[in-house]
Structure 1
């Protein structure tokens, strides 16, 4: 900050604090910053910088902060660290259950039998209930137990959708021009055929 701006900020802080600038000897700063007037000095310096445009066109201006999401999560920084470092088995159970809850559908999709799906969901629910009963401190457990029957139904639906997509892909590989024949037939349906 230049000397003129520094003096202006000190003058404003001194004026707001009720001190007299004439009491200061010439050649010395008109005041010493203390706890009472430091906030005024800083505020004046910020306002001067804003007027000069030093805060214009900063990177990320007007954009949402990356990774915050739409819901309030007081432990966002711990969750982000666990995800970025790919840590597992560390941290309070509440956070580990949140991470597991987010990836549970993908884990269930890797299973082949309904009994295995039920077993995994029941084990997850048991651990959620245990974590809620513990009074060890740390963040609260906000992860909810899952409905076993609803998870099995969702697993079946995802499995059937994946099977249908795989069949369509296999059919397209085995008969690559089947779609072209249908398209060609559609195209020619409404047109008159040339006389041969």
Structure 2
């Protein structure tokens, strides 16, 4: 690289408007020389070499290793999926899909609760989320998650915990069985 090219590269700087930096023009000052593509290339090369000398590229992932092959035709949003995995982002699913995911994990969440009242509140909150998602008008996948019967879930929670009695001051469930409640709802639906 000749001395003139180095000088041009050292003078090459960009301001926010994309024009070369210079002192305010006087009436008799000559216009700045036109930028040439090779000047920009030299300046970029100098910036990269300076960053390498500072060690800014030392701890990059895949340093000294081949880059993984990505089939962009088969997976057009590969970069988004990798970003979500790398940053461990959660809770960005559409509500219908989030409800499906939460439905599969609800029994484990209920098992972690210590009182019957907390189980009832958790199931009622889950049911409220389902109803609210069904009312939304934002589009997206349909909400197919079924409402959970509070009494059935409490009974199942008791059975999983090995208890046959309530654990707090919540009154016992009504004398009708969950199956009878379900049949009554089915009859009402058929009428209306």
TM-score category of the 2 structures, normalised to the smaller one: 0.3 to 0.5
TM-score by length of 1: 0.38
